[in-house]
Structure 1
Amino acid sequence: MKIDFTPVLFPKLKILFSFFMRIFILLFCTTVFGFSPREVLSQNREITISGDRNYSVDEVFDLINQQTEYSFIYRSDLFAGFPKIFLRKGNINANKLLGMVIKKKDFNIILTSNNTIIIREKSQFNRVQEGVSGTVTDDEGLPVPGVTVRIKGTSSGTFTDMDGNYTIAVPNRENVLVFTAMGFESQEITVRDKSVIDITLVTKVDMLDGVTINAGYYSTSERMRTGNISRITSEELSQSPVVNPVAALSGRIPGMLITQNNGNPGSGFDIEIRGRTQIDKLNGASDEPLIIVDNVPIASGGEFLDNIGSAISANSTSGLSPLYNINMADIESIEVLKDADATAIYGSRGANGVVLITTKKGKSGTLKFDANISSGASMAPLPDMLSTKQYVAMRKEALGNDGLDLYELANSSRASDRNQVYDLAQYDTLRDHNLVKQLIGGTAYTHDAQLSLSGGSELIQFRLGGNYHRETNVFPGDFPNTRVSSFVNISTKSRDEKFSGSFSASYTATRNTSPSSDLTASISLPPNYKLYEENGDLAWNEGGYDSDNPLSYIYRKYEAKTRTLNANAFITYTPIKNLILKSSIGYNLITTEDDKIWPSTAFNPLDRTGADGLYYLGNSEFKSWIWEPQVEYTLKLGKGVLNTLIGGSLQSNEQNRYSLTIKGYENDRLIGSLSPVTPDMFMNPSSSFSQYRYGAFFGRVNYAHDNKYIINLSGRRDGSSRFGPDFRFSSFGAIGAAWIISDEHFMQNLTAVSFAKFRGSYGVTGNDKIGNYKFQDVYATQNGFSGPGSYDGEVALIPESLFKPTLHWEKNIKLEFAMDVNFFMDRLRLSAAWYRNNSSDPLVNYPLPLITGYANVVANLEDVLVQNRGWELMLSSTNISNGNFRWTTNFNITIPKNELKKFPGLESSSYSSDFIIGKSLNTVISGHVVGVDPETGLYRMKDYNGNGTYEPAYDKGGGDFRPLLDTDPNFYGGLRNTFSYKGFNLDIFFQFRKKKGFSWLSSYASSLTQPIGYVGKNYPSVVLNRWQNPGDTNPIQKYTTTASFLDLYDLNGGHAPSVFSSMMYTDVSFIRLKNVALSYQFKKKVLNHLGLSSLSVYAQGHNLLTITSYNAGDPETATLRSLPPLRTVVMGIQLSL
C-alpha cells in the first residue's frame, strides 16, 4: 500500500512540533483519565472556596465535581433538611471537605471504577452480604500468596492463601475489588453479577531501581545513571520475527539509524549512531559502532565476512553480516551507549557509540525446559513495472516521436538499425509473463526451533540452548539458508559469596546460498523477454539478438559456510569488604569458506569456448582475544557512596584471507574438484594477513551524594598498532553529572511528578578504524590474468601505501544535556536529550596524482571539523491498567543535524566538488532539472550562472551545479503500542523516517545516455505520466530512442537528465508497520491438564505495510537493483515444562 502522505504528515518543522505536542497532550490526558484513585479521593486534591459563607451538602458536592474528576450519585432527597456548613475563603483538602458534610449521619460510600461516588443510607445495606471467591495467579500461571484483596474506598479486605485463593464478603454488586501485591501491578475489577473472580497479576518492574542497566565495565540503574543508555529487553526483541538482532532494533533506539542493505538472508545493515562523521565514506575510517557480546568485541556490520560477490552482498555493496550468527533467543538485553559519559571509558573504540549484547543466564530453582517452534513465509513487495502492452506502446511512441519507422528499421540491411527494434520485431509482443514476478516474486519459507534447559541451586546455575533455523529465498531455484547454533552459560559462587564466576560460549554454523547476482537488477529487461524454451531449457538470444538470460545466475550458485565461536570467562573475588577483583577473558573466532560455481551451461552459447567452467573460491579467518583485569572499590563517605574502578585491556585481532579463480573446466560436473586442474587454469590468486594489537588502561570514579547528586568521571589511555610510534598512544575521558531534583524538599508538593532528573556529560572519544598497516610503506604482488605479475621471470612487487608517520587518531568531542521526568507514579515517562558531537582530524584515503606512483594515501585531514547535533525524545505511558486490560505506549523521535563546520583549504583539495562548509556531509551538489519544456517535451536544466550554457560543475563564481538538498533524515523514530487482555497480548510497532534519497531513476544511472523509450529497457509505471503533446506539463519527458552524451548537458533540453541532477533524488519518507505480534497465554487450568508451566501460541508480522510517496520500489533501500526488505508472517508455539 502506498499513500502520498508527504504534504499532509510531514510539513515544516514548526508544524511537526505542533503535531507531536498534540500527541503528548493526548497521552497525558489518557494517562490521567485512566488513573483510578486508591481511596475515596486518593489524589488529595485541594478545593478552592471563593468566599466565606454557608454551603449546603449539594453545593459542596458541586464544588468537588467542578474542581476534580469525581462525580456523585445519590437520591435527590437524601440530604433534604441536612444542616449547612460554614466554609471560609481559601483552599481545603477534598477528602476533609467530604468528611465534614456527611459526618453527622452514617452513610455507605461506594467508589466505582470510573471515579463515580455512590452515596446511600447505611440502612439500605443492612442485608446479608454476598461472598466472592477466586484465585490469583501471576503472568506465568503460578499462584500468588499474600495478595491483598480489599473493597475500594473501604478498609474491608482479606489476603490470598498459599494457593492464591481468597474469599471476601461484598455489601453491594457495584463494589470494586482492588488486588495489590509486592512486585505486581495493582488491578481493579467491579463485582457486578460475578461470584467467582480469578485474577492474573502482571509483574511490576521498578523502572528506576528494579532494572539493572549494563554500562559495560559497570552496572547502574535508570535512577542513578548519568550517561545516555538505551535498553531493549528480550521481551521486546521476541516480538520481531527476524534473525539478525540489528533488524529488531530499527526504529526503537533514538539516535540510532539502521538501514537494511537488501532483503537476502544473511545480508548486512548500515548502523549509524548520531550521524555521519566520515569525510571519505567509501575508504575512510569506519563510523560503525563498537559491538560487544558478553564482554567480547566482535567483527561489526562493516567487516563483512564474504570474499566473493553474490546476491547477498548486493552486487558487492555490502556482504554477509557477522551479526546474523547471533541467536536472538539467547539475548537477554541490548544496551546502546551514545554520549561521552557512557562511551569514553571505551576510549578510541567508543567514538561512534557502543552496542552491548548480554546473553541469558541460568536461574536458581527447579529444572526448566523451554521450547519455541515457528514457521512462516516471506514475499518481496513488487514494483509496478510496465506490462508488455504498455512497454510496446512506449517503444512505438518513442519511435514516432523521433520520426522513425518500425517496419523500415526491422527490415534494414544495417544491423545497427535492426538492433534499435529487436524487442518489437524479434520478441513476441503478445507475451506477458510478468517478468518481475518470475524473477523475485517467489515465496520464501522460514522454519525455526529453539530449545533451552535451565536451572540450578543457589551456588551454581546453568542454561543450555540450541537453535535450528532454515529459510529459503524468493528467487527461482533452490537456495536454502541454514543456521545451527548452541549456547551454554554456567554461573557459580562460593558459600561465603567472596568468589563468583561465569562462563558463556556460543557456537554457530551457517550455510548461505544465493544466485551469483541479485536478480532484482534484471527487472528492467523488456517484460516480454523470453526466459525458457518450450522444452524447459534456458532461452538465449531470441531472434538472433545477443542477450544474456537473467535466470543463468541461478545456475551460477554461490555458497558460504561460516563458523562462529564466541566465549567469555568472567571471575570476581572479594578479599575484603567493598573490594572486588575482576578478570574477563574473551575469544572470538569467525571462519568463512565461500565459493561460486559457473558451469559452462550458464554462459551465453555465443560466448562459449567449450571449456568455460569457472570456480571461484575464498577463505577468511577472523580471530580475536581480549583480557581485561579490573579492580573495584566502594567506600561510604558521609551521606554518599564513592565507587572507583581501574582496569586494563589487551586485545589482539588477526585476519587471514585468500581467494582464487580457476577457469577452464571441460566438464561441469568436475567444477570444484582440484583433480583436473592444471597450473595454467589458475587466475587472480590473492591472499592477505593482517594483525592488530590494542592496549589500554582505564578508570572510573563515581560519587553519589544522598542519592540525589551524582558525578561520574571516566578516563582511558589507549595504544593502537595502527599508528606510528610517535602517535600510537592517546588519552580520552569524560565527566557526567546528574541531579535528581524530584528528591528535593521543594518538589514534594508537586505530587504529579514522581521522578525528575537533570543530567549532562562532556568528554572526548577517539577512532582508529582505518585498517592495519596504513601508516607504513606496504608492497604487494601484482596479479596478472593467469597468476602473479612478473618481471624477467621474477614476481613483481608494486607499492600499495605510502609511509605516513604522522597518522593519528580521529577525535570526537561530545556534549549532552538531558532530563528524565516521570509523572503519576511513573505511569507517564518523558526523556529528552540535546547532543552535540564534534569530530575532528578525520582519517581518509586521500587521492593523489598518478605521477606520484600512488593512487592515494591514508591521512588525517588536519583541523577539519564535522558536527552532529540534535534532539532525542522518548515518551512512555501506561494508558490503562485496569482489571484484566492493560495498554502501554512507547514513542521515540530523533531530530538530527549534520554540518561540516571547518575544512581549511577545501577549495584546493580533492574534495572541493564534494563538500561545502556550513552544509551537511550528505549534501547533493548537482544540476537542477526545472521540469519538462511544455513545447519540446524535453527536460530543462537551470542556468545558474546565466551564461546561456549548461556547465556541469561546481566552481566558485562559475558552473551550474548547486547544493540542492541533503540526504540526512529530517527526523526518524518509532511508535509502539501494547495491549493485553487476560491471556491475549497484541504488540504493534510503527517505524517512521522523513528524508530525501535516490529516486527510481538512479537505478538506471549506468545507462542514462539511453533515454526513456530506448530499446530493451523497461521502467516503472510512473513513466506513463509523460509529455505527449505541446502544452503538456507532465513531470516525465517525452519518450524517445535517440540521445547523445552531449544531450545530457544541453541547457534548453535533453533526452535524458544528467546523472548529476536533481532527477536522481526524491522524497523517500515512509511510515512502516514494522512489527505486529499477537499471542495468547493459556490459563492455569489448561496448563495443569497438560502438565506444563506455560503455553502460548502466537502470530507475528514484519514489514506488513508501508505508507510512502515513493512511487517505484522500497523507500528504505531506494533502488530497483537489489532485493527490497521482505514482508514476513510467522506463526508459532511456545511452551515450558
Structure 2
Amino acid sequence: MLTSSGEPSATPSIRLHGAGSLGAGSTPLIVLDGFPIDSGSLVSMNPEDFEDITVLKDASATAIYGSRAANGVVYITSKKGRRGKDPVINLSSQHGFTYLANKDYFTNFLNTQQLTDFWVETGYRTQEQVNAILEEYPNDTQWYEYYYNEGAPTTQLNLNVSGGGEHSTYYISGGYFTQEGMAYRSGFDRYTLRSNLTTDIKDWIQVGLNLSLGYDERQTNPYGSNSTNRGLALLAQPFYSPINPETGRRYEGVIPGWNRYDPQYLADNNPSLGTNVQLNPSGFIQLQPFKGLTLRTQAGVEFYDYTISTQRLPSYVGSLNFGSSSEEFRRGLTKTITNTIEYKFDLGVVNNFSILGGQEYIDFDYERFLGSSAGQSDDRLILLGQGPESISVEQDRAEYVFTSYFGRLTYDYNKKYYVDFTARRDGSSRFGAENRYADFWAIGAMWKAKNESFLQDVNWLGELTFRASHGTSGNADIGNYNSLALVGTNQYNGQNRWALSTPGNPALSWENQTKTTLGVNMNLFQRLNLDVELYNRVTEDMLIDVPYPYTTGFDEVTSNVGSLKNSGIDVTLDFNLFTNQDFYVTPYLNFNYNRNEVTELFQDKDYWIIPNTGVSWAIGQPVSFFYPVFAGVDSETGDAQWYVPNEDPDQIINPNLDPNNVTTTFNSANLQQNTGIKRYAPLNGGFGLNAGYKGFYMQAAFTFSEGKHLINNDRYFFENPSVFGGFNQSTAVLDYWKEPGDQTQFPRYGVQFTQFDSRLIEDASFIRLKTLSLGYNLPRELVQTVGLIDGLKLYVVGRNLLTWTEYSGPDPEIDSNLTLGVNPNTKQFTMGVDIAF
C-alpha cells in the first residue's frame, strides 16, 4: 500500500501480487461486512469503527467473490457488540500537527548569493544588474515555508457505545475528524455515525441492520503539475519576498517581482469546496430451520451525493469585477442483494461437509450535473443566477449491472485434510451481448500436519499447515460502455448534429486470470510464526485500449488482447522474542517479491510504448521505462551525449555500452529504448516492533520499497537554467562543464542542461517509519477509584517520522510512473486520550 499524496482526503493505492492487468484496473475488491464497496467510500468512513481487516490473495479464498476479485480482496469487518455484556462507553480524543515528511528536496535550492553568482558567472546578468536587483530586493526567502503551512492542525473525536443482552447486540458510534492541509486550499472535515444491531427474533431467526452515515467537506489544492502557484513555486527567486515590509504581513494580491499571487490570497479568492454525503445501510435475515441448514438474505446500498462548489470572487484582482461560479453534482447508487443457502453435516464424525449455493445482484446508477456562469460583479452575489455570461450546462448518466451465481463445496477429514471447490458464473453489462457471461472456478487443499499423530509429541512445533490452490477469476474494471458504438452531439455550421463518438467492440469480453498458490504456515518453539506463500498469476485476454490509425476515425478500441504474468513470494514472520506477565517484545517482518513479465501483445508487436508516459510493454520483459539513455558529458567539449539505440530498441540496453556509439543530437523519438529499469518495484513490505512493560507500550511500523523508480519531472524545470532562465534552480546546476577535462553532471552553459532522458528516472526506493506509538494504560484499580471511569489510556503517535531514500524529489512514495508538482506526504505528531466508562 502506497500513499501518493499529502492531501488529507487522498486514498492510498493498494496492489496485491503485482499489477494484474495492463489495461483494466488493478485495485483489489473492498468488502465491508459482506458487501462490496468502492475504495473511495472509505474516505467518508471512520476507521475507528473497523474491527478487523483481512487480506485475501489466493484463488481459493477469493473465488467466492468472483468477477471483481481478480486483484484480491480486502475484507473489512466493522465493530459489533457482545452478547451478555454490560454497556461499554468509549471516548477518545486526538490532537496533532502536520509538517513536511522530508525537507531535503525543499531546502536544496540556490539561495540569493548562489543564484546571483551563477548568473554573473554564466553571463546571464552582469554584476551591476545583480547589484541593482539586490538593492531593491534584499531578501533570502525559503519559499516552501510560504506555500506549505507547517504545523497545520489535526483533531479527531470518537464516541461509541457497545454491549448486548441475551438475544441482541449493539454498537453505536459517532466521530469527528478535521485536518487542515499543508497546501493552501487543502483540507478535510468528516462527521460519521454508525449503528450495528443484531437480534434473535426466535432461536432459528436472526436479523441484523448496519447503518453507516458519513458527511465530509474536502478541499484539494489544484496548483500542482505545471503551476507556479505551488507545484513549481520553488522557481521563485529567493531575493523576492512574500512579506510586505511596510505591514509585516503577506501581500494582499500579487507578490512584487515574483508576479504571482500570494497562495493564501489565491485560496481565499478562488474558494472551492466539495461536500459528500455517504450512506451505507445494509441488513440481513438469517434462518436456521434445523441443525446444519442456514438460509440468508442480505441487501445493502452504497449511496453518495457529492457536490463541488467553485467560485472566483469579483474582488479578485486577476479578474476584477468579473467573477464566476460553478456547481457540480455527482450521485451514485449501488444496490447489492445476495441470497445464500448453506448446509453443513458430517458422516461418521470425522467426515465434515459444507455445501453453499448463492446468487448475487449488483446494480449501479450514476448521474452528474454541472452548471456554471460568469460575470458576477459583487462578492455578495456569487450564485449561478448572478452570472449573466458564459452560462453552461452539462449532464451525464451511467449504469452497470453484475449478476452472479456461485457455489462452494468444502470437506475435511478429521480436522486434518481439507479440500474445497468453488464455481461461479458472472455476468456484466459492460461486455458485448454475446459475451457477458463467463464461468470461473477454483480448487483448494490444506493439510494441518501438526494434527497428525506422529507430530503430536513434537513440542517445538506448535503449528504446521500446508495449503495449495488453483483457480480462475475475471476482471471487468473498465468503462461502462466500451463494448457499444455510441453517438454524441456537436455543432457544425451553427446546427446541432449527431456523430459517432466511440467505435465500440461487440466481441468485448472478460479479462481472464489463472492463479496457482502454494503455502506453508508454521509455529516454532511457541515463539516464531512463519507464513510463506508462492504464487504464479497469469492474465490473458487483457482489456486494453488497442491503438488504431487515425484514418479509421478513432485512435483506439478496447479489445481482449495480450497476456501478463506475475509470479513471486509472500513472507510473513513474527517472533515473540520475550514474553512474560509484565514484559513483551515482538518484532515482525513481512514482504512481497513480485516479478511481472509481458508475454503477449497485440497486432504482432514486440513492444508498445505508451504515449507520453516513458513506459513500455515489451514481450519477455517486465513493464519498463523507455527513454533516451544519457551517456554523460563529453569532458573535452562540454556537450551532452546519448547512446544510440540497438537495432531492437525493445531489448534491454547492453550493460557494456559502446562509448563510441553516441550522439550529441537529442531526438526523443529516435533515441528512446528499453532502459531495463522496471516500472513496478519488485520488493515491497514492512517491519516493526511491538513491545510493552506493565501499562506502557510501544509500536513501531516501518514500510519499505526496493527497486522502485520514478520519472522525476520536477527536475526538468529545476535543472534547466538556460531553458528557464531567470528562475531559481536546484543547487545541482552548479556542477556544469566549464573547461576541457571537467567531469560534470551537466553540459556547458548554453546547451540545454536536462532533457527527457534516463537521468530523470530515479531510484525511489525508500524505508519510512510509518507509525510510532507510545502509550500508557493506567492501572485499572487506580482509574476505578474515580468512580465513573473503567479505563484510561494516554498516548502519542508519530506518522512518517523518518524517511531514508536516495530519491531527490519531494516524496518517493508516489505510486506512479511520473511525478510533477506533487503535494507530498506529511509528518504528523498526535497526542491522544482514550477513556472507557
Normalization by structure 1: what TM-score? Answer: 0.67
Give how far 1:262 is off. 0.9
Give how far 1:1131 is off. 0.8
Instruction: Say if 2:521 is the partner of 1:823.
Output: no
In the TM superposition, 1:64-463 aligns within 5 A as: 258-279=1-22, 284-300=23-39, 321-364=40-83, 365-380=85-100, 381-385=102-106, 390-391=111-112, 393-394=114-115, 396-398=117-119, 400-401=121-122, 403=123, 406=126, 425=133, 428-463=136-171
Distance of aligned partners of 1:860 and 1:919 in 2 relative to their CA distance in 1, 3 Å threshold = same
- Name the residue aligned to 2:429: 721
User: Could you report, residue by residue, the CA deviation over 1:390-439 in whole angstroms, capped at 9, with x for unpaired residues?
Assistant: 355345435643x555379x6xxxxxxxxxx9x98499553123111111
**SS of structure 2 residue aligned to 1:273:** coil
Instruction: Say if 2:266 is the partner of 1:553.
Output: yes
Give how far 1:382 is off. 2.8
CA contact (8 A) 1:386 1:1018 kept: no
User: Which letter does structure 1 place at the counterpart of 2:18?
Assistant: G
2:323 to 613, 624, 649: 613
Instruction: Say if 2:290 is the partner of 1:576.
Output: yes
User: Which letter does structure 2 place at the counterpart of 1:489?
Assistant: N
User: Could you report, residue by residue, the CA deviation over 1:162-217 in whole angstroms, capped at 9, with x for unpaired residues?
Assistant: xxxxxxxxxxxxxxxxxxxxxxxxxxxxxxxxxxxxxxxxxxxxxxxxxxxxxxxx
- Name the residue aligned to 2:571: 873
Q: Separation in 2 of the partners of 1:521 and 1:721?
A: 44
CA contact (8 A) 1:460 1:493 kept: yes
User: Could you report, residue by residue, the CA deviation over 1:326-355 in whole angstroms, capped at 9, with x for unpaired residues?
Assistant: 111110111111111111111111111111
Distance of aligned partners of 1:502 and 1:1072 in 2 relative to their CA distance in 1, 3 Å threshold = same
CA contact (8 A) 1:698 1:716 kept: yes
1:1058 to 752, 755, 758: 755
Give how far 1:930 is off. 2.4
1:501 to 207, 213, 216: 207
CA contact (8 A) 1:367 1:453 kept: yes
Give how far 1:441 is off. 4.2
Give how far 1:1014 is off. 3.6
- Name the residue aligned to 1:69: none
**SS of structure 1 residue aligned to 2:13:** strand
Distance of aligned partners of 1:719 and 1:988 in 2 relative to their CA distance in 1, 3 Å threshold = same
CA contact (8 A) 1:733 1:764 kept: yes
- Name the residue aligned to 1:919: 621
Q: Separation in 2 of the partners of 1:798 and 1:620?
A: 26
- Name the residue aligned to 1:250: none
**SS of structure 1 residue aligned to 2:800:** strand
User: Could you report, residue by residue, the CA deviation over 1:516-564 in whole angstroms, capped at 9, with x for unpaired residues?
Assistant: 4242432232223443544554353746x86565555313222100000
- Name the residue aligned to 2:682: 970
**SS of structure 2 residue aligned to 1:564:** strand
Q: Separation in 1 of the partners of 2:619 and 2:665?
A: 22
CA contact (8 A) 2:112 2:139 kept: no
User: Which letter does structure 1 place at the counterpart of 2:391?
Assistant: F
User: Which letter does structure 2 place at the counterpart of 1:653?
Assistant: F
Distance of aligned partners of 1:796 and 1:951 in 2 relative to their CA distance in 1, 3 Å threshold = farther
CA contact (8 A) 1:392 1:424 kept: no
Q: Separation in 1 of the partners of 2:54 and 2:585?
A: 25
2:503 to 798, 802, 817: 802
Instruction: Give percent identity, aligned residues only.
Output: 26
Decide which structure has the larger Cα Rg and report it: 1
In the TM superposition, 1:477-496 aligns within 5 A as: 480-494=187-201
Distance of aligned partners of 1:850 and 1:1129 in 2 relative to their CA distance in 1, 3 Å threshold = same
Instruction: Say if 2:603 is the partner of 1:893.
Output: no
What is the RMSD computed on CA atoms of the aligned residues?
2.7
- Name the residue aligned to 2:332: 622
**SS of structure 1 residue aligned to 2:118:** helix
Mean Cα deviation higher: 910-919 or 1094-1103: 910-919
**SS of structure 1 residue aligned to 2:103:** coil
Give how far 1:277 is off. 3.0
User: Which letter does structure 1 place at the counterpart of 2:145?
Assistant: K
**SS of structure 1 residue aligned to 2:825:** coil
CA contact (8 A) 1:568 1:584 kept: yes
Distance of aligned partners of 1:512 and 1:856 in 2 relative to their CA distance in 1, 3 Å threshold = same
Give how far 1:749 is off. 4.8
CA contact (8 A) 1:461 1:490 kept: yes
**SS of structure 2 residue aligned to 1:920:** coil
In the TM superposition, 1:403-802 aligns within 5 A as: 403=123, 406=126, 425=133, 428-476=136-184, 480-494=187-201, 497-518=203-224, 519-533=230-244, 534=246, 536-540=250-254, 542=256, 550-554=263-267, 555-602=269-316, 604=318, 608=319, 610-638=320-348, 639-671=350-382, 673-678=383-388, 680-683=389-392, 685-782=393-490, 790-791=491-492, 794-802=495-503
- Name the residue aligned to 1:1079: 775
CA contact (8 A) 2:55 2:72 kept: yes
CA contact (8 A) 1:511 1:562 kept: yes
User: Which letter does structure 1 place at the counterpart of 2:443?
Assistant: I
Instruction: Say if 2:595 is the partner of 1:856.
Output: no
- Name the residue aligned to 2:827: 1127
CA contact (8 A) 1:388 1:527 kept: no
Distance of aligned partners of 1:736 and 1:603 in 2 relative to their CA distance in 1, 3 Å threshold = farther
Q: Gaps spanning 5+ residues in structure 1: where?
A: 1-257, 301-320, 411-420, 783-789, 1043-1053
CA contact (8 A) 1:900 1:916 kept: yes
Q: Separation in 1 of the partners of 2:665 and 2:219?
A: 47
Give how far 1:674 is off. 2.9
Give how far 1:617 is off. 2.3
CA contact (8 A) 1:929 1:1057 kept: no
User: Which letter does structure 1 place at the counterpart of 2:583?
Assistant: F
Distance of aligned partners of 1:504 and 1:388 in 2 relative to their CA distance in 1, 3 Å threshold = closer
- Name the residue aligned to 2:692: 980
Q: Separation in 2 of the partners of 1:397 and 1:458?
A: 80
Give how far 1:936 is off. 3.7
Q: Gaps spanning 5+ residues in structure 2: where?
A: 225-229, 647-659
More strand by share: 2
User: Which letter does structure 2 place at the counterpart of 1:715?
Assistant: A
Q: Separation in 2 of the partners of 1:336 and 1:799?
A: 43
Give how far 1:642 is off. 0.5
CA contact (8 A) 1:879 1:889 kept: yes
Give how far 1:883 is off. 3.4
CA contact (8 A) 1:566 1:587 kept: yes
More helix by share: 1
CA contact (8 A) 2:766 2:805 kept: yes
Give how far 1:998 is off. 2.2
CA contact (8 A) 1:1072 1:1106 kept: yes
Q: Separation in 2 of the partners of 1:1073 and 1:488?
A: 35
User: Which letter does structure 1 place at the counterpart of 2:379?
Assistant: D
1:833 to 508, 533, 536: 533
Q: Separation in 2 of the partners of 1:568 and 1:833?
A: 35
Q: Separation in 2 of the partners of 1:645 and 1:953?
A: 62
Q: Separation in 2 of the partners of 1:981 and 1:570?
A: 43
Distance of aligned partners of 1:488 and 1:1025 in 2 relative to their CA distance in 1, 3 Å threshold = same
User: Could you report, residue by residue, the CA deviation over 1:636-669 in whole angstroms, capped at 9, with x for unpaired residues?
Assistant: 0232201110000011001111223322222233
